Amino acid sequence: MPRYLIPIGGNEKKSPNSTMFQEMVALAGGSKARIVVVPTASETPGERARDYQALFSALNPESVQILHIGERSDAGSVELCRIVGETTLFMFAGGDQLRLSSLIGGTPLHRALLERYQTGGCVVAGTSAGAAVIPELMIFQNNRFRLFRKGGIEMTKGLGLIQDTIFDTHFVQRSRISRLVNAIATNPALLGLGIEEDTGLLIENETTARVIGAGTVIVVDGSAIQINHIGYTENRHPFALTNVVYSLLTPGVVYDLKRRTVIDAGPIAPPKSIVPKRGRRRKKTSD
């Protein structure tokens, strides 16, 4: 069975009319989808739980359950692991990704999720911090005054559902290009994917990624780097880096994560229905 990951750049429109959420639920079984939402990363998990409960319920799945994980012991619950073992869509809400990795990483629930995903049993999605925690490595903090300086970011292990790839979210809105370049400089084997708000990637079998939603995904590819002085540079000092390759992917574009190339250029222009309208800015969310 195919495996699907759906990282979202945050601040997505929580509407049953969203094609992004419609596709997510369809992949999870449509009317037979069994959905689990984990709001642990949020500062207001109860409010976030209500938002997603209402959203997913409006899409008419078989069930929607909320898993509240406030301590690591919660992630050792036999009952919660059973629920994860039966889910067809597992969704991490946004907030602080360190809450997710520190409370879930290495627990029975983490192992149950990995097993369920690896056998193709469930779609795993996450928004903002919930997307950042999906790969093997994640950015969890940065000092904005030391970006493009050695030591300008901090990284740790994520949940390991995909290797050699790192996600950054709110990418355009928070001008995060410099911190993703920092991450790639530490090891150019990593492929950086910067995801704009209200935008996602539909990743199949950790190999191909199709842009969904309303915005752009920026690829930061360090495989052609020729000069990289980060290893010789003192902390807080700038470092030389050349031949970083950037790609801008719009909705419908399909990218090969292994070969690092576009395999389907998608439509020349996005449908009018997904072009964002000018208007009042939505409330800023956390990472």
Band of residue 144 on the pLDDT scale cut at 50, 70, 90:
low
**pLDDT for residue 148:** 84
Give per-residue pLDDT as tens, 264-285: 998 876 655 555 555 455 555 5
Segment 166-182 shows an average pLDDT of: 94
Segment 98-125 shows an average pLDDT of: 98
Segment 4-18 shows an average pLDDT of: 98
197 is annotated as an active-site residue: yes
57 is annotated as an active-site residue: no
Which residue ranges form the domains of the chain, and what is each CATH number? 4-255 (3.40.50.880)
206 is annotated as an active-site residue: no
Predicted structure pTM score: 0.93
Cα–Cα distance measured from residue 94 to residue 8, given in angstroms and rounded to the nearest whole number: 10
Give per-residue pLDDT as tens, 55-85: 999 999 999 999 999 999 999 999 999 999 9
Which of the residues 128, 223, 234, 286 is marked catalytic?
128
Mean pLDDT of the chain: 94
Q: Which positions ≥6 away from 247 have C-beta within 8 Å? A: 218, 219, 221, 255, 262
Which of the residues 102, 197, 237, 286 is marked catalytic?
197
